[in-house]
Amino acid sequence: MKRIKMGCTTLSIPAMALGIMRMNQKSVLEAQVAIQAAYDAGINFIDSADIYGGGKSEEIFGQAFSQMQIKREEMFIQSKTGIVPGKRYDFSKEHILHSVDEILERMQLDYLDSLVLHRPDALMDPEEVAEAFDQLQAAGKVRFFGVSNFDTAQFKLLQSCLSQRLMFNQLQFSLKHTGMIDFGMHMNMVDKPSVDRDSQFLDYARLHKVTVQAWSPFQYGMFEGTFIDNDGFPKLNQELQKLADKYEVGKNAIAAAWILRHPANIQMLVGSMNPQHIRDSAKGAKIRLTRQEWYDLYLAAGNYLP
Ligand SMILES: NC(=O)c1ccc[n+]([C@@H]2O[C@H](COP(=O)([O-])OP(=O)(O)OC[C@H]3O[C@@H](n4cnc5c(N)ncnc54)[C@H](OP(=O)(O)O)[C@@H]3O)[C@@H](O)[C@H]2O)c1
């Protein structure tokens, strides 16, 4: 598995992580098979969130992982907090501290390697977040911190009050969700792709050494389904198949290779719970698409260049 530097540190992390948002739909045994398939492919990084399956994903993970042979320190385990489903976003100190205690209990862990704030809270008080982070780190409950779905200004604002450097920003990115890169190629035009949707976070991340984590790498829309083998996307699937044949892998590997080909050293969050799909996705980390292949896929996904 390709390894990348984590944020501004010299620590290395795998270029793919296993996201457990969908683990609530699996048995403990099925979860173990998925975790083992990922681990054997070099994916020793887990991404979770307190809200996944209303907490059930983390419970299943805890039951599964605690019975496996993988040592705790060999797996980087991250979770997220800050969304109270259907009610509010909540970055209050009280909520963050309480949420971490619950995450640790559900996942049967003593500490998290990383805690990520899930979605910007309009009422965020950065100094209050800083207090929560300091307290969690001092108590040995969380090693590193990050954010998710933050734009550049929100990121800078929070960072300015923290004693820790933020390591991650988790953003949606796939062949069918390319806002982060469309903008740069449609600079100063008046068409739809020229809208700056993320305030150029990808460039900021490269300049300031923040790891961008790409969520939903095989999905179109927001969890509408996968574009892989989906009749709604014939051109894209034709192109994926052509390259899958060339590199002797499946389509997941090519869709993954497309994300990892970007020079920002993105970490991709694979959400599959199917060991075959996990293994095939991991093969994408070994493929370096040519520039032409990368652009052919971008265009086959329905994008255009000025
Ligand atoms: N920060 C955020 O706001 C945010 C939001 C969403 C997700 N996330 C994170 O990102 C992770 C990944 O998200 P995701 O699960 O949406 O990503 P994904 O990996 O794009 O999608 C996984 C889904 O696609 C299906 N799939 C993948 N390859 C397939 C194939 N070849 N044929 C048929 N179905 C296929 C999987 O089914 P199988 O299980 O059958 O393979 C699964 O249902 C999550 O687990 C979570 O950790 C973060």
Domain extent for 134: 11-300
**Which residues sit opposite 172 in a β-bridge?**
215
Query: Does any domain span residue 305?
Result: no
The verdict on residue 306 lying in a domain is no
Q: What are the residue numbers of the active site? A: 52
Which residue's CA is the closest to the ligand 1 atom numbered 23? Answer: 272
One-character DSSP codes across 47-102: E--TTGGGGHHHHHHHHHHHTSSS-GGGSEEEEEE-EETTTEE---HHHHHHHHHH
Tell me which residue of 125, 43, 47 sits closest to 81, measured CA to CA.
47
In a domain, 92, yes or no: yes
Instruction: Look at residues 211, 221, 241 and name the one whose alpha carbon lies nearest to residue 175.
Output: 221
pLDDT in tens, the chain (306 residues): 999 999 999 999 999 999 999 999 999 999 999 999 999 999 999 999 999 999 999 999 999 999 999 999 999 999 999 999 889 999 999 999 999 999 999 999 999 999 999 999 999 999 999 999 999 999 999 999 999 999 999 999 999 999 999 999 999 999 999 999 999 999 889 999 999 888 899 999 999 999 999 999 999 998 899 999 999 999 999 999 999 999 999 999 999 999 999 999 999 999 999 999 999 999 999 999 999 999 999 999 999 999
Q: What CATH number did the domain enclosing 76 receive?
A: 3.20.20.100
The answer to the question of residue 1 being in a domain is: no
Question: Which residue lies with its CA nearest to atom 32 of ligand 1?
Answer: 228
User: What is the total count of domains within the chain?
Assistant: 1
Q: Identify whether 247 is part of a domain.
A: yes
- Give residue 269 CA to ligand 1 midpoint distance, Å: 8
Is 147 contained in some domain?
A: yes
> How far is residue 173's CA from residue 273's CA, in Å, rounded to a whole number?
19
| Cβ-Cβ contacts under 8 Å for 233 (sequence gap 6 or more) | 176, 220, 227, 301, 302
CA of 202 to the centre of ligand 1 (A): 21
Residues 6 or more apart whose Cβ sits within 8 Å of residue 248: none
